Structure 1
Amino acid sequence: MIQYLDEKIANYEVCVILPSSYDPTKKYRTIYMHDGGETAKQAVNYIDHLILSGQIEPFIVIGIEPIDRKNDYTPWEAPSLARHASSFEGQAQVYLHTLVSEIKPYIDAHYATNPEPSHTAISGCSLGGLVSLFASYYYPDVFHQYISLSASFWYEDVLRYLQGEKIERQGNIHIKPTVNRQDHQLYLYVGELEGIYKETMQKHMVDYTKKAHLEFIKEGYLEPNLLFASDPEGTHDDLFFSNYFIQSLRWLFGIKNKNETMDY
């Protein structure tokens, strides 16, 4: 039976999802997921089937509910896209520090995890996809797999940051660090219909994602370790997020096709 266990760690509500095959004497991969792990929850029975049928490696989901999403998932302060709405506060570095220094050590101490970076992934959608990528710059020695679904590359100055420009905000300077991507794997997805009806910066969603992909290639990801998927009918919603999350699991943790090139 799949187990859902609720934890309160460092003021964050955390849902730990254990596969039905969970054995506390073994060591499991972990995927740290933003937005409470909602993308995994929507497909949890199918994911469990893939594990039980030997198609993907078993893993533990750690779904972290944001305290303030616009604060936790953004790298620096920026104005809101909507009139009269609060601005983005840009505290991703603080959030990720809490994840790495408090949430992950607690999970590793209380569950049967393999704590090594080679067995530790981070995943998110939209702003959650964005903060997952920033984890690859802030903590490249903690996570080695990144799943970024429809990441908010439209966010003010993110593309400039990825292109190596200096970003100044609130008296702080943000410069993209050089990261050794030799052991990193990145699954990147965007739907081709995302942003087409927007009048804000979100209208650049697809174009900016494709430009970001080129920057990731320049960073040195090995060709087999970087997969960029898209869907010609893809819109910005959970229907596509869950489907491509499954595809990312097949690519990253697939057993039968582990060493084969997969096209989606």
Structure 2
Amino acid sequence: MPLRFDLTTPETDDRPVFLSGDFCDWYPDLPAFQLQPIAPGRYQLDWPSDVALPDTLVYKYTRGGWDQVELDAWGGGAPNRTTRRTSGSCRDVVPHWRWYGHAVNPAWWPRLALDEPIPVPQLNTSRRVRVLVPFDYEQTDRSYPVLYLNDGQNLAGSGSDYGSWTVDRTMALLAGQHRHAVILVLIDHGGTERVSEFTPDRTLAGTGNGRRYLDFLVNTLKPYIDTRFRTLPAPVHTGIGGSSLGGLISLYGGLLHPGTFGKLLVFSPSLWISQTVYRDARRLNLPQPMTVYLYGGKQESRHMVSALNQLVRALQHAPERLNLTLVVDPSGRHNEATWGRAFLPAMQWLF
């Protein structure tokens, strides 16, 4: 059997796929090295019998030009591939492709559909809220799941002085995989009131207003969003997420309001600040199934991973209704850049 290249990619479009490398002076679109589609997102090429195989083959995949070369899952450059095989199959995956010189197709970016202060009567204040809808929201009549994200200042665009998750860019990347059909609601934190608003009950930082903040999300903001936009309002389609203290209050969104939030995105939660979080987790009573994505990095603190494992044990009393995964990143740190990279696989898993 000749050497076969078997390529899978979640991004499907009409552009052809080519193999390029040192064997052809890196020409990106030679007809002899065009892979043939055999299924959606699946391509194959048998090595031409009239071309000699080098001892070590160095190669990449393109969509017909170096402005359309393969990229990694986050839209960054992918290293060259190598193989010393002379027969059998090279099974490769390309998660993302450059789009005519762009890391992401500019047309796939989500649209900012709302950017305004929303009254928070529970706390006698207001809060800036932004809503990102899928790029093709206006071209459909479908309804969408919704993810409410805390610490909105640090989530889109250039973010704040702390950095950005760049969730807008991630949603554009997911659009290439047709997995972008989620409305994101970005809620700014309260500045000096952030610690209080993101901690329920009494904590090491004092008595928090987290219950009032969650009441705002459940009884003020969510009804407003469901009225303004085409949403799927049921808990199974409604998520809440955040990191650090924003991860803690997101966890409590599920613990205290499981009838509203059925999907939890919890990154590096500040479990240490709460004196009752494990007890509260053990008391979780689920009226319907809940999906939880927990993430933490080994480089954050010496206690992060052990605290997450303790939380998992506390939550595992209801496995028949709880779909939970814990992702531990060996290089993960406590910052926006880390959480931004974690956001893409979390969205793929949750939605």
TM-score normalised to the size of structure 1?
0.78
Within 5 Å, give how 1:145-160 maps onto structure 2: 145-160=263-278
TM superposition shift of 1:239: 1.6
TM superposition shift of 1:161: 2.4
Letter in 1 for 2:200: P
Instruction: Say whether the 8 Å CA contact 2:255–2:281 is kept in structure 1.
Output: no
CA distance in 2, matches of 1:222, 1:90: 29
CA distance in 2, matches of 1:211, 1:40: 32
**Matched residue, 1:239:** 337
Which of 132, 138, 144 is the matching residue for 1:28?
A: 144
Change (3 A) 1:213 1:102: same
**Matched residue, 1:13:** 128
Letter in 1 for 2:262: H
Instruction: Say whether the 8 Å CA contact 1:192–1:232 is kept in structure 2.
Output: yes
CA distance in 2, matches of 1:228, 1:40: 25
Seq. identity, %: 30
Greater strand content: 2
Letter in 2 for 1:43: V
Instruction: Say whether the 8 Å CA contact 1:37–1:61 is kept in structure 2.
Output: no
| Bigger relative contact order, structure 1 or 2 (CA pairs below 8 A, ≥6 apart) | 1
Within 5 Å, give how 1:59-208 maps onto structure 2: 59-67=182-190, 68-79=193-204, 87-162=205-280, 164=282, 176-180=283-287, 183-196=289-302, 204-208=303-307
TM superposition shift of 1:123: 0.5
CA distance in 1, matches of 2:177, 2:152: 26
CA distance in 2, matches of 1:221, 1:61: 28
CA distance in 2, matches of 1:47, 1:37: 17
Q: What is the RMSD computed on CA atoms of the aligned residues?
A: 2.1
Greater helix content: 1
SS in 1 for 2:220: helix
Aligned pair count? 225
TM superposition shift of 1:156: 3.5
Q: Deviations over 1:7-31 (max 9, x none)?
A: 2222121011112111362201100
User: Is there any run of 5+ residues in structure 2 with no aligned partner, and where?
Assistant: 1-108, 120-125, 158-165
1:212 equivalent to 2:311? Answer yes
Change (3 A) 1:118 1:178: closer
TM superposition shift of 1:250: 0.9
1:252 equivalent to 2:350? Answer yes
User: Is there any run of 5+ residues in structure 1 with no aligned partner, and where?
Assistant: 80-86, 165-175, 197-203, 254-264
Instruction: Say whether the 8 Å CA contact 2:297–2:304 is kept in structure 1.
Output: no
Change (3 A) 1:151 1:221: farther
- Which is greater in Rg? 2
CA distance in 1, matches of 2:156, 2:146: 12
